[in-house]
Structure formats: structure tokens, C-alpha cells
Chains A and B, each alone.
Chain A
Amino acid sequence: MFTLLEVILFVVYIITLYYTVFWLIAFVDYAPEQPSRQRRLPKVSVIVPAHNEELTLEKTCRSVLALDYPRELLELIIVNDGSTDKTLKIANSIRRSSKRTVKVLSQENMGKWKAMNAGIAASSGEFVACLDADSTIRNDALGKMLPYFSDPEMAVVLPMLYVDSPKNLLQKVQWHEYVINMFYRKVAGFLNCIHVAPGPFSLYRKSVLLEIGGFREGFKTEDLEICMRLQSRHYKIMQTTETEAYTEAPGTLGELYKQRKRWNLGSTLNILSYRGMLFNRKYGDFGVFQLPIIFLATFLASVLLVVTAYLSVLKPLSEKFIQLRLINFDIISYIVNYHPHFSLLDINFFRSFVSISFLCISISVLVMAHRAIKRKVVSHGLLAAVVFMFWYYLFLGYVRLVIIKDLLLGRKNKW
């Protein structure tokens, strides 16, 4: 009655459906936290780790210096991580010209996590923000984010993150992806299930960072590893929707592939490092639901990609090729005499139902996510939305397939 592939597809479908329904219920339950007003403003250090960032560093630092926050309570720390371009020169120029406190550190190229730890060691703030050197922040960020630290268990607060001025189709497609991710992270924050604190302006309580020993290499995904460690110690990580950060998105497929491969491989390896948390009730929704799904996502996406590619492309194409070979490639006769006797009832119901229900859910999530930020789904053109909906996840599925291959072959993460 059902082929093996259909059974696999069915299992993937049920898991994905359950997961999506769970998130939608959590979204309905979502009640934004109302932080209490701060009695005093704390000192904040913003660390900008930079490795060969001469093109974007100035813009990034200017956005920090323009933060609407008292001069004496804000310091900018630029950590030059062994740059070979003019990064250090630009950093020193910013230090000289700024009226705010700007420190410039320089080290051999040792990676972002070591640059962050050097910045933390040199910081004097009660709170520490990390800002990637290709990102910027809105000037109200600290005023909106700091009040959430009135909760003593709050370790990290994240701003909304958008692709900065998307220019080409690929960047516009990623703009949609970031919107969906923010929507998802907003609900994840409500469930205390956030597993990554992205580089663009994640704001940390420094005492917690020191307590847990700062950043680690974390398979080249230090922002993910630190969240896993914070979650393992039951700290809170939350996403605010009240302020925004902007980041540069890869402009070519090659760059995007490299970036996503690093992120996804890092994600899988970090979860494996913290496997004791998987399905562990002690860690609440994070251990029971979020971690298993993130871990499974790599395999689910790969299975979906392989099954879809096989059923929709490879199988029909190879069958057609074999058939045409049987008639000595008499293609013209075949087309001229082809009389399909097709009715809607002939469509494979199971596959159609799965496809249509996934499509409905995807469109609903896309619309809800955009409505939550008061933007139209077609704000960057219909083409970008369509490519995002129908093809982008196939690309991510391919990335995950490569990751599985690399994991099986024992290959390591590379920059």
C-alpha cells in the first residue's frame, strides 16, 4: 500500500507538523515580559572583534558611539584580531576622534572567541555587548535591552536582527529568513529555549560570563556554545522585539554556503558535546523539545531533500530517459502522439496532502512573522518571497546533507 519512501516521508511529516503546531501554540500563549524600570543605569562595554574589517568597521563603531546612552557609562573596545589590512589603523583613528571611551586592543589572529575574551578582560562595564564588525545597532538599543536584566537569572538579551539593506536576490531571500528566525526566536525566548546569541549586539551580564569562564572555541560557533553552556546552568536568554540590529548578509551562493555550513555543523557538534541535555526534563522545554529538534533538523532536512529530489526530479527524469531510449529517442513522434488521460483524482493523494498542508503552514508562518514586525511579505519583491518559500530550504537541506557526509567522514569545521 505504501512504499518505504512514503513511510519515511510520513514520519518526517508528522515530526515536522508536531513541531510547527507546538510553536504555533507557544506563539498563541506568548505574553511579552514587561521589564521593571531601572533605578540606575549600569556601565556597558561594547566589544567589536575585528579581523580584516577595514570596509565595515567604521560604520559599525559609529553606530555604537551614536548609542543613546550616557557618555561616562559606555565604552567601546575594538579588538584587532591579527588583521592584515587597515583595520588597526581605522580602529586607532576612531579612538582618537571619539569623545567617548574607546579602547583598541591588538592580538595575533586567534579567532573571535579569544578576541571576545580579551575584550571582556579589558572591559570595565557591568554588562558586555558583542558586536560583529559588519553589523550596526539602533541608537535606542541599550535603553530597550537593559531593563530585562532586572531579572537576576537573565544572562543574555538579544535584539531583533535584520539583513542590512539587502541588494541582490540572495540577500533579499535571507531578509525573509531572518524575519522568520526572529519570529521563532521570540517564541523560543518566551519558552527559554534560545540556543544561539548571534554576534550582532547580544548583550551579556558580565558577572555570568566570568562565572562560566568566558567564550570557548565551540567548533567555530562560540555564540552557540556559550548559549548551550548558559542553558545547561539554567540562565535565561531572551529576545526583545523593541530594538533592532542590522548585519551584512552573504551576497553570493558560495559565501552563504560556507557560512551556513559552519553554523549548522557547529550546531550539530555543540549539541553532541552537550548531549546529556538531550531529552532531559531537567532542562525543561529546551532539553525535551528544542535541542532534539535542532539536532534532528539536520537529518530531517536531509531526508526531505533526498526524498523530494528523488521522487520529483531523479525518478521521473530517469524513467523518461529510459523510456525514450526504448523508442530510439523518437521524441517528436512521442510528443505528437501523446494523449494524457489525466483527471484530478489521479494525483497521489498522500503526497498532495502533505505538500498542501506544509504550504499552508509555511504561508501562515511567513505572514504572521512579517505581520509581527509590521512589514509586508512582498516588501522586498514577490520573487524573493517565492524563492524563499520554495527553494531556499532545499538549499539549506543540501548544506545539511553535506554536513552529514562530513560528519561521517570525520571532517572538521573550517572558516
Chain B
Amino acid sequence: MREINQRRYVLAGILTAMVFVLGLLLGFVIEGKRVELIQDASDEARVAISSLQLQYAFIDQLSQVGNCAEFMNAFDKNVENLETARIKLSNYQSQATVNRREFDLLYRNYITSQVQYLLLSMKAKKLCDSDVVNVQYFFSKDCKTCDDQSFILTFLKQKFNQRLLIFGFDTSFDKEPLLNLMVRTYNVTSFPTVIIEDNKYAGFMSKDNITSTICGLYEAAPDYCSQ
């Protein structure tokens, strides 16, 4: 029978556990930083929506339609920033361990901001008579073709630029009643579902299909429509 130095085995276990705990602690620190980052972006989005609502009221009440172009430009930029932050938030939320509640609250905040933007865009479109197409995109994390649909919509947003506004709604998040209300309102039963202006398209839409649908809605179609 040979001797076994148990001290080495125990010490190795303790040191391994220490590295593991160090990793966990660093993970918590990073998660805290992520919450801070998203919180900042959320605060910015809140300020931006208030500013846009005031700009809209200003243009509406004082009939300043000449300022519409600038307003729509700022609007588009803010919607894009909001969507970028939402993607980050969704990514952080899926990796969250201790701050799940904070992330859930932030996500609710984003959904309400998105809906505010959506409603404002509908009103602004009428007021400014802007040749912009609104797209609402409902997706779910369990849906197999949703990532592909997201990729196509992101690609088209880059192509149409300010002439296309996209509002993405992740229906797997069930903690915001407003989201359920929207799903019921548009009678969304399968994913992905794309609502282009008032028309609902359930199921995956190819790039060509979605492009021709969007292009058909412009009064003056962008160059990309003729390519």
C-alpha cells in the first residue's frame, strides 16, 4: 500500500474552488457594469422620447412642418439606438445570474419606450406626411426562423435607412402586460410575424418578398427598390 498525501488533494481542491469563486465574483462585477450600462442607455432613451414628444407637440401646435425633416431624422436615430440597446439588453439578460430582476425591469422599460416611439411615429407620419414605412416585428426565442428574419430586417434597415422604421418585440418576455396587449391587438399567433404598416404577415418572409412589399408602400420609392 502506497502513501497518499491527502493535503495535496485538499489544497488543490481549495485552490480550484478559489479560482472558481474568483471567476464568479468577476462575473458579478461584470454583470453589475452591464446593468449600469443599460440603465444609462435607458435613461437616455427616456430623455430622448420626452424630447421627441415635445418636438412633435411644438411642430403640431405651431404648424412648424418645415422642421419635420429634422424631427424625423432625430426620430430615426433614436429608434435605431433603442433597438441596439434592446439587443444588448436581451443578450445580457440571457446571461444574467444575480441581476435578473434588474434586467427584467430594464427590459420592461425598453418595451414601453418602444411602444411610445411606435405611437409617436404613427402620429408624426401623418403630421409630417413623411414617406416612411413602419414595421413591427414580433418574434420569440423558441422560434427557429426568427434569427434569420431579424437578420433580413436589419439588412433592409441598413439599405432603406431613414425610410424604414423597425420596432422589434420579443414576445418570449412575459413580464410586461403591454406586450401581451399588442400581441392580442394584432392577433399574433405564430412567429415570426411582421406587420408592415397595417398588413400582417405571419411566418418567415424572404428578403425579396419583404422588399417588394415595403417598396410598394412608398410614394416615391428609394433607389434600392429599383435595384
Binding site for B on A (CB under 8 A): 1, 14, 17-18, 21-22, 25-26, 29, 192, 234, 281-286, 288-289, 322-323, 326-328, 330, 333-334, 337-339, 341, 343, 345-346, 348-350, 353, 357
A286 to B84, CA, bound (A): 55
Q: Which residues of chain B are near A289, meaning CB under 8 Å?
A: 9
Chain A residue at smallest Cβ distance from B1: A282
A382 to B27, CA, bound (A): 33
Contact A1 B8, beta carbon cutoff 8 Å: no
A17 to B20, CA, bound (A): 10
Q: Which residues of chain A are near B5, meaning CB under 8 Å?
A: 29, 285
Contact A281 B151, beta carbon cutoff 8 Å: no
Contact B37 A21, beta carbon cutoff 8 Å: no
Q: Is B44 an interface residue (CB 8 A)?
A: no
A333 to B227, CA, bound (A): 12
Q: Which residues of chain A are near B12, meaning CB under 8 Å?
A: 18, 21-22, 25
A330 to B159, CA, bound (A): 11
Of B8, B15, B27, B158, which is in contact with the most chain A CB atoms at under 10 Å from its CB?
Answer: B8
Contact A333 B159, beta carbon cutoff 8 Å: yes
Contact A17 B19, beta carbon cutoff 8 Å: yes
A197 to B139, CA, bound (A): 61
Q: Is B219 an interface residue (CB 8 A)?
A: no
Q: Which residues of chain A are near B206, meaning CB under 8 Å?
A: 326
Q: Which residues of chain B are near A281, meaning CB under 8 Å?
A: 1, 4
| B16 contact from A21, A282, A333, A338, Cβ within 8 A | A21
Contact B30 A349, beta carbon cutoff 8 Å: yes
Chief secondary structure at chain B's binding surface:
helix
Q: Which residues of chain A are near B94, meaning CB under 8 Å?
A: 1
A349 to B30, CA, bound (A): 8
Contact A349 B1, beta carbon cutoff 8 Å: no
Contact B2 A322, beta carbon cutoff 8 Å: no
Per the 8 Å Cβ criterion, residues 1-60 of B in contact with A are 1-5, 8-9, 11-13, 15-16, 19-20, 23, 26-27, 30-31, 33-34, 37
| A284 contact from B3, B15, B97, Cβ within 8 A | B3
Contact A350 B3, beta carbon cutoff 8 Å: no
Q: Which residues of chain B are near A286, meaning CB under 8 Å?
A: 2
A91 to B99, CA, bound (A): 75
Number of A-B contacts (CB under 8 A): 93
Please name 12 further chain A to chain B contacts, defined as beta carbons within 8 Å, in addition to the given A25-B15, A349-B30, sorted by A numbering.
A1-B94, A21-B19, A234-B2, A285-B2, A288-B4, A326-B206, A333-B159, A338-B158, A345-B37, A350-B23, A353-B23, A357-B19
A326 to B12, CA, bound (A): 51
Distance to closest chain A CB from B39 (angstroms): 13
Q: Which residues of chain B are near A343, meaning CB under 8 Å?
A: 37, 88
Q: Which residues of chain A are near B34, meaning CB under 8 Å?
A: 345
Distance to closest chain B CB from A343 (angstroms): 7
Q: Is B174 an interface residue (CB 8 A)?
A: no
Q: Which residues of chain A are near B87, meaning CB under 8 Å?
A: 341
Contact A346 B158, beta carbon cutoff 8 Å: no
Q: Is B95 an interface residue (CB 8 A)?
A: yes
Contact B16 A349, beta carbon cutoff 8 Å: no
Q: Which residues of chain B are near A346, meaning CB under 8 Å?
A: 88, 91
Decide: A29 near B2, CB < 8 A? Known: A14-B16, A327-B207.
no
Q: Which residues of chain A are near B20, meaning CB under 8 Å?
A: 14, 17
11 interchain pairs (CB within 8 A)?
Answer: A17-B16, A21-B15, A22-B9, A192-B2, A281-B1, A323-B151, A327-B155, A330-B155, A345-B92, A346-B88, A349-B95
Contact B155 A334, beta carbon cutoff 8 Å: yes
Decide: A341 near B84, CB < 8 A? Known: A1-B95, A25-B11, A285-B4.
yes
Chain B residue at smallest Cβ distance from A18: B16
Q: Is B148 an interface residue (CB 8 A)?
A: yes
Q: Is B152 an interface residue (CB 8 A)?
A: yes
Q: Which residues of chain A are near B33, meaning CB under 8 Å?
A: 345
Chain A residue at smallest Cβ distance from B92: A345
Closest 7 CB pairs of A and B: A284-B2, A337-B158, A22-B12, A18-B16, A21-B12, A341-B84, A353-B23
Q: Which residues of chain A are near B37, meaning CB under 8 Å?
A: 343, 345
| B30 contact from A18, A323, A341, A345, Cβ within 8 A | A345
A345 to B152, CA, bound (A): 26
Contact B13 A328, beta carbon cutoff 8 Å: no
Contact B26 A326, beta carbon cutoff 8 Å: no
Chain A residue at smallest Cβ distance from B28: A349
Of B4, B97, B148, which is in contact with the most chain A CB atoms at under 10 Å from its CB?
Answer: B4
Contact A327 B88, beta carbon cutoff 8 Å: no
Per the 8 Å Cβ criterion, residues 120-158 of B in contact with A are 148, 151-152, 155, 158
Distance to closest chain A CB from B156 (angstroms): 9
Decide: A350 near B27, CB < 8 A? Known: A1-B97, A326-B152.
yes
Distance to closest chain B CB from A203 (angstroms): 23
| A353 contact from B16, B27, B152, B207, Cβ within 8 A | B27
Of B2, B91, B148, which is in contact with the most chain A CB atoms at under 10 Å from its CB?
Answer: B2
A334 to B156, CA, bound (A): 10
Q: Which residues of chain A are near B19, meaning CB under 8 Å?
A: 17, 21, 357
Distance to closest chain B CB from A113 (angstroms): 27
Q: Which residues of chain B are near A322, meaning CB under 8 Å?
A: 148
A285 to B207, CA, bound (A): 62
Chain A residue at smallest Cβ distance from B208: A328
Decide: A29 near B8, CB < 8 A? Known: A192-B2, A234-B2.
yes
Distance to closest chain B CB from A59 (angstroms): 40
A348 to B208, CA, bound (A): 34
Q: Which residues of chain A are near B31, meaning CB under 8 Å?
A: 349
A323 to B84, CA, bound (A): 19
A264 to B225, CA, bound (A): 61
Chain A residue at smallest Cβ distance from B38: A345
Q: Which residues of chain B are near A1, meaning CB under 8 Å?
A: 94-97
